[in-house]
Amino acid sequence: MKFSQFIGQEDAGLGLLLNAVDPRCGGLLLVGGRGSGKSTLARLARGIIPAHLPFVELPLNVTEESLLGGIDLEQTLASGRPVLQPGIISRANGGVVFVDDINLLSRELLALLMEPQSRGMEIIQREGLTEQRESSFVILATMNPEEGDLSPHLADRIGLCAVMEEQNGRDERLAIMRLAKETPFFTVEHDREAMDLISVARGLLPEVRFSAQALEHLQQVVQRNISPGHRGDLFLYHAARACAALQGAADVEKEHIDRVANLVFSHRRLQLREEEQNSTEPEQPHDQDQQQNNEQRDDQGEQPPPPENGQDENDRHPSGEGEHESTVSMGESAQREEIMGVGAPFKLRRLSFRKDRRKRQANGRRTRTRIKGRGGRYVKSLLSSTEHDIAIDATLRACAPFQKARNRQGMLKIEQDDLRFRQRERRMGHLVLFVVDGSGSMGARQRMMETKGAVQSLLLDCYQKRDKVAMIVFRKDRAELVLPPTASVELAARRLAELPVGGKTPLASGLLKTHRLVRRTSMHHPEQRILVVLITDGRGNQHLTPETRKEEVSNLAGLLMEEPQCDFIVIDTEHKGNFLRSDLAMDLARQLEAEYYTIEALKSEYLAGMVQARMPG
Amino acid sequence: MHFPFTAIVGQEQLKTALILNVIDPGVGGLLVMGEKGTAKSTAVRALAELLPQLTVVRECRFHCQPDAELCSFCQERKKEAPLTLGQRKMRVVELPLGITEDRLIGTLDIEHAIKQGEKRFEPGLLADANRNFLYVDEVNLLEDHIIDLLLDSAAMGVNSVEREGISFSHPARFILVGTMNPEEGDLRPQLLDRFGLCVQVSGLHGKEQRMDILRRKAAFDSDATAFGVQWREQQEELAQRIVDARERLNSVELTDSALEKIVTITSALQLDGHRADIVIMKSARALAAYRGLPDVGSAEIRDGALLALPHRQKRLPFEELGSERGRLERVLEESLP
């Protein structure tokens, strides 16, 4: 298949051409959903760059040594002195590095990839060897945002970004099928015409003039597209010139700038939104060099899809509803049991943890973590370690330069100092423990449905992050573990739907049960991080002890606080429009140092998200 | 000795889906959802057993196809002398749940490196899987990074390795068959989408059928050879039918009106991306070839869609798998009069 046969997605195609004309356009990031053709298009790029230029693929299995280069085992042995083997970055010099699913790669590796690109220089330091060489290459990357975010600071390093739009046009779909019919296996063919076009444009490029007027217009465009930093301006400048060259123009005109503005700013605007969102969480540091922060943002990406009927969530409070609810909650006697439907789920506020450096053995996607043991991705080798397995490849490379001195005959001689160890990495999920108030005070139909909707949304988030979930329900005279920790979020959703409501509110029992489960879990899995999501209006009315209800609850909260691996979220289900509001859940949240949300707050985040999604760009 | 494919009772959808993948590997694999003990792995093994031998480059670790893209080793050898060819049965390569990255994609041959001081690529499971079935039981329980690597190669048909000082790539075209029990955890929708077809299997409940299963299994267990002889004719007939279908595949007519029908279905279901269109098209075409038809008709599109769409439909969050089946059938009813 040829580049020019690709159907639709003009912006993405233009982005590729611009980079082929002038690498100073800074690379291209293709963002699109599954099956949108982003990887296909990126691979077709190989057919439009001259055959002598490298096109190096960076697979997901890459290790740090392979990216940067390292000791070449064979040549070092042969020559008796250390010889460097070029890594991907060196091999790509002057050409393209293609990274499919860039957001699945570790942040550290990406930082290592981007650094020489922005410095224009590659510095290799391996086993006492240092080499510097010039380095210039273009990054071509794809990502599916459903799979997680790309840290905005890394995204900012990539010059252009094209969002692959949903292509539901009937004619286009037909044309794509016709093409697929003819090409049973995908192979890339050279596209002569496109290459000719590029080479003509490359010839014109040095002559393309940027008039003062055009610069003026560029500034205006930059002003309109508020984006942090100045990288955008520069990329816009080069992209506009390349665009003019492609069209055979001697001067950059306004339309060239306008044509490429979206490519330059689509991901930078996103970045800005991200930062606005982050700034609402003041406890999180903002230093861009802080790895930790990058990691954390990375993990905020996966969000549930918007619900079908998200809109009417807002109009669901007919005035009569509140009264009805208050009568029930005041009575608290509701002995009847009922099973309410599950309210529509909504897009969630992003819940995430600060990345921690403790080593864990766990599996999931919420937080990336360094781990002990043998599972997970081998990312790089370390000099010393007591708890990692030996990285044989790195050990062999380390011992290679000394073989002559050690008088090797046949087998390699390996000494203690040569040993290198594997550092592995894996994303870690958490145990998310839902503690749900199922008492009569929750019994107002509307309230419970909304609560179920909230839990449902949180479950979706867990599903995408590979968390384990468990559920405790407290109602009538006791708390019950209705779902022991499981990886099946599906099962949790089913339990949730079946959840009956009615009876008194044994909040203390709920907390006690929670504490027991937390203790038990941390005994078996001392490294498991636990997120307790407490969903209640805080109005406990069932005592366990002779103490007052309030004391009892605060004692239990104190007990829970002693569990170091626990984080808490309190979702207050009390109707805040009600003049009898007690804000008891808020007190509890304070005692637990929990993040506190009302259902409305969770929801408004969702609505805010909707608004943002509709912003142009 | 394997249980004969043709002697498997029921599970027609599963059998058809497997056969379509053999006729056109471009269909893109199969995800089997369902309970244990429903002849899933038996069916895959039995089908591999039934198929005619592949022509391969002799002594190639990747069983290269002589007339297709070769691995780096074969390319080198070809320069020196014409490649010697051999015949090989298609195999079922199993991917165990606890597999490590090294074992999957291949790694540095350590023994060779220590003894000879040379680096050599030690092929992994993806090398074994080339041109074979790759069977992953409980694919939803695989570690995430393993699934990512697996699907990466499955999508491109190539395994590129960049680690441990090794830079190597080889063809990795396999028919991916995954099984999962949704109760034990989900698969990300992005990953679901990578499987070409999806069938749901359940135990058979008809008394008659259960009796058949018992009878056949008992006969096979007491004398596998005699049982094999009994089924030989059906086996050979099916093998021939598959071979014929493969040959006919490219001459099957796919009219514009057939393509229109496919788009009508996928638009009505508001499916994202283009994989759904393409997979329906390919499976409908393979079905027509299998049925010996000159062109793709409504029946093939319908049956192709029933295999290609169960896992691609938009589900409400946590809506049970299978509940959208009714929606699919309604749309098919309307789109394919």
B83 and B97, same domain (yes or no): no
d(CA B272, CA A165): 10
Which H helix or E strand runs over A556?
helix A549-561
B277 and B174, same domain (yes or no): no
B282 and B292, same domain (yes or no): yes
- What separation, in Å, do the N-terminal and C-terminal C-alpha atoms of chain B show? 45
| Closest partner CB to B318 (pick from A71, A410, A490) | A490
Phi, psi of A366 (to 5 degrees): -75, -50
- The neighbour count for residue B25, using CB atoms within 10 Å, is 20
The alpha-carbon gap from A438 to the nearest alpha carbon of chain B, in Å, equals 21
Nearest CA in chain A to B107: A393
The answer to whether residue B214 is domain-embedded is no
Q: Is A170 within 8 Å of B155 when comparing Cβ atoms?
A: no
How many residues are there in chain B?
337
* Closest residue by Cα to residue B21 from B163, B173, B138: B173
Nearest CA in chain A to B262: A174
Q: For residue A294, is pLDDT > 50? A: no
Q: How confident is the model at residue A139 (pLDDT cuts 50, 70, 90)?
A: very high
B196 and B328, same domain (yes or no): no
Give chain A positions within 8 Å (CB) of B281: 177, 180-181
B284 and B144, same domain (yes or no): no
User: What letter would DSSP give residue B317?
Assistant: T
Alpha helices (runs of H) in A499-543, residue ranges in sequence order: 507-524
B39 and B163, same domain (yes or no): yes
Condensed to tens digits (0 to 9), the pLDDT of residues B304-335 reads: 999 999 888 765 544 455 566 778 888 888 88
Q: Which amino acid is residue A347, in one-letter code?
A: K
* Closest residue by Cα to residue A456 from A341, A367, A285: A341
The alpha-carbon gap from B281 to the nearest alpha carbon of chain A, in Å, equals 8
Mean pLDDT of A100-119: 85
* Closest residue by Cα to residue B238 from B43, B34, B38: B43
- The neighbour count for residue A260, using CB atoms within 10 Å, is 27
Q: What pTM does this model have?
A: 0.73
Q: Is A59 within 8 Å of B267 when comparing Cβ atoms?
A: no
Condensed to tens digits (0 to 9), the pLDDT of residues A396-414 reads: 888 888 887 888 777 888 8
User: What letter would DSSP give residue B146?
Assistant: H
d(CA A227, CA A528): 39
Mean pLDDT of A79-92: 86
Phi, psi of A218 (to 5 degrees): -60, -45
Could you state, in order of their start, the residue ranges of all structural domains in chain A?
377-425, 431-602
Chain A contact for B260 (CB, 8 A cutoff): yes
- Both structure tokens of A550: 């309030």
Q: Is B274 within 8 Å of A37 when comparing Cβ atoms?
A: yes
Give chain A positions within 8 Å (CB) of B285: 181
Exposure string of B159-176, with b = 16+ CB inside 10 Å and e = fewer, is bbbbbbbbbbbbbbbbbb
Give chain A positions within 8 Å (CB) of B296: none
B195 and B116, same domain (yes or no): yes
d(CA A71, CA B245): 52
Residue with tokens 């043991």: A373
Q: For residue B140, is pLDDT > 70? A: yes
Give chain A positions within 8 Å (CB) of B162: 58-59, 61-63, 66-67, 88
B27 and B172, same domain (yes or no): yes
Give the CB-side neighbour count of residue A190, counting CA atoms within 13 A: 8
Q: Quick one: pLDDT at residue B318?
A: 44
Interface of B with A in 285-324 (CB under 8 A): 285, 316-318, 320
User: What letter would DSSP give residue A108?
Assistant: H
Give chain B positions within 8 Å (CB) of A67: 162
Find all residues with CB under 8 Å of A496, minimum gap 6, and list them. Answer: A342, A452, A455, A456, A459, A471
Chain A contact for B281 (CB, 8 A cutoff): yes
Chain A contact for B165 (CB, 8 A cutoff): yes
Cα A143 to chain centroid, rounded: 10
d(CA A580, CA A329): 10
B156 and B277, same domain (yes or no): no
d(CA A547, CA A508): 11
How many residues are there in chain A?
617
Give all strands (DSSP E) within A438-587, no chain letters. 468-475, 478-486, 500-501, 530-536, 566-572
Give catalytic status of residue B275 as yes or no.
yes
Which H helix or E strand runs over B121?
strand B121-122
Look at chain B and report how many structural domains it folds into.
3
Q: Quick one: pLDDT at residue A610?
A: 36
Of B154, B184, B201, the one marking the end of a domain is B201
ipTM of the complex: 0.84
d(CA A256, CA B89): 59
The alpha-carbon gap from A489 to the nearest alpha carbon of chain B, in Å, equals 7
| Residue A441, CA distances (Å) to A537, A600, B236 in order | 8, 18, 69
Condensed to tens digits (0 to 9), the pLDDT of residues B26-73 reads: 899 999 988 777 788 889 999 999 998 889 998 888 998 888 878 888
| Closest partner CB to B273 (pick from A35, A345, A365) | A35
Find all residues with CB under 8 Å of A206, minimum gap 6, and list them. Answer: none
Condensed to tens digits (0 to 9), the pLDDT of residues B246-305 reads: 999 999 999 999 999 999 999 888 887 888 999 999 999 999 999 999 999 999 999 999
CB A1 within 8 A of CB A44: yes
B68 and B120, same domain (yes or no): no
The answer to whether residue B208 is domain-embedded is no
User: What CATH number corresponds to the domain at position B14?
Assistant: 3.40.50.300
* Closest residue by Cα to residue B7 from B206, B205, B238, B176: B238
d(CA A32, CA B273): 9
Give chain B positions within 8 Å (CB) of A38: none
Q: Is A307 within 8 Å of B188 when comparing Cβ atoms?
A: no
Find all residues with CB under 8 Å of A300, minimum gap 6, and list them. Answer: A149, A350, A352
The answer to whether residue B116 is domain-embedded is yes
| Closest partner CB to B152 (pick from A60, A427, A489) | A60
Q: Quick one: pLDDT at residue A338?
A: 55
Helix axes B256-268, B325-335, angle to 10 degrees: 140
Pairing of strands A121-126, A338-339: unpaired
Q: How confident is the model at residue A484 (pLDDT cuts 50, 70, 90)?
A: confident
d(CA B136, CA B40): 11
Helix axes A291-298, A107-119, angle to 10 degrees: 120
CB A544 within 8 A of CB A444: no
Q: Which amino acid is residue A557, in one-letter code?
A: A
* Closest residue by Cα to residue A163 from A269, A297, A242, A58: A269
Domain containing B81 equals 55-89
The alpha-carbon gap from B75 to the nearest alpha carbon of chain A, in Å, equals 18
CB B54 within 8 A of CB B87: yes
d(CA A609, CA A338): 33
Of B201, B225, B241, the one marking the end of a domain is B201
d(CA A13, CA A215): 25
Q: Is B145 within 8 Å of A377 when comparing Cβ atoms?
A: yes
Chain A contact for B247 (CB, 8 A cutoff): no
| Closest partner CB to B160 (pick from A59, A71, A185) | A59
B96 and B71, same domain (yes or no): no
Cα A426 to chain centroid, rounded: 14
Mutation for testing the B interface, residue in A61, A308, A460, A468 having most B CBs under 10 Å: A61
d(CA B232, CA B226): 10
Nearest CA in chain A to B255: A178
d(CA B154, CA B148): 10
Mutation for testing the B interface, residue in A1, A30, A34, A41 having most B CBs under 10 Å: A34
- Both structure tokens of B215: 């009878």
Condensed to tens digits (0 to 9), the pLDDT of residues A517-557 reads: 888 888 877 777 888 888 888 877 777 777 777 788 888 88
Give all strands (DSSP E) within A537-582, no chain letters. 566-572
Q: Could you tell me which residues are beta bridge partners of residue A378? A: A424
* Closest residue by Cα to residue A15 from A161, A223, A209, A148: A161
Q: Report whether CATH 3.40.50.410 matches the domain A431-602.
A: yes
Q: How confident is the model at residue B132 (pLDDT cuts 50, 70, 90)?
A: very high
Find all residues with CB under 8 Å of A435, minimum gap 6, and list them. Answer: A471, A472, A473, A474, A510, A511, A513, A514, A532, A533, A534, A535, A536
Q: Could you tell me which residues are beta bridge partners of residue A535? A: A436, A571
B82 and B146, same domain (yes or no): no
User: What CATH number corresponds to the domain at position B321?
Assistant: 1.10.8.80
d(CA A309, CA A19): 42
Condensed to tens digits (0 to 9), the pLDDT of residues A35-81 reads: 888 888 999 999 998 888 899 999 888 888 888 888 888 888 888 78
Candidates B61, B88, B241, B275; catalytic one: B275
Condensed to tens digits (0 to 9), the pLDDT of residues B99-120 reads: 888 899 998 888 888 888 888 8
Average pLDDT, chain A: 75
Give chain A positions within 8 Å (CB) of B144: 363-365, 426-427, 466
The answer to whether residue B243 is domain-embedded is no
The answer to whether residue B123 is domain-embedded is yes
Q: Is A104 within 8 Å of B24 when comparing Cβ atoms?
A: no
Chain A contact for B254 (CB, 8 A cutoff): yes
Mutation for testing the A interface, residue in B107, B126, B130, B144 having most A CBs under 10 Å: B144
Give chain B positions within 8 Å (CB) of A57: 160
Q: Is A203 left (phi over 0), alpha (psi -120 to 50) or beta?
A: alpha
The alpha-carbon gap from A174 to the nearest alpha carbon of chain B, in Å, equals 6
Q: Is B167 within 8 Å of A66 when comparing Cβ atoms?
A: yes
Q: Which amino acid is residue A355, in one-letter code?
A: K
d(CA B197, CA B309): 7
d(CA A59, CA A42): 14
